[in-house]
Amino acid sequence: MILKLHKDEAGQGLVEYALIIALIAFAAVVGMNSLATDINTAFSKIGSVLDVNIP
């Protein structure tokens, strides 16, 4: 019985796809966090320049 379960590969593809999707989602979240920080910094710099140059 245990040997039969060990050889049974049904559902293996689904698990592999789920792991790949989870890895991609994790990378996207990390990338978006970094991107959001960069965008926030850029807008802060633009705001500072506008404050200085507008009387």
> How far is 41 from 24, CA to CA, in rounded Å?
26
pLDDT averaged over every residue in the chain: 86
* Length reported for the chain: 55
10-26 residue pLDDT tens:
777 888 999 999 999 99
Q: Which amino acid is at 12?
A: Q
Is the Cα dihedral 10, 11, 14, 18 positive or negative? negative
pTM: 0.56
- For residue 13, the model assigns a pLDDT of 85
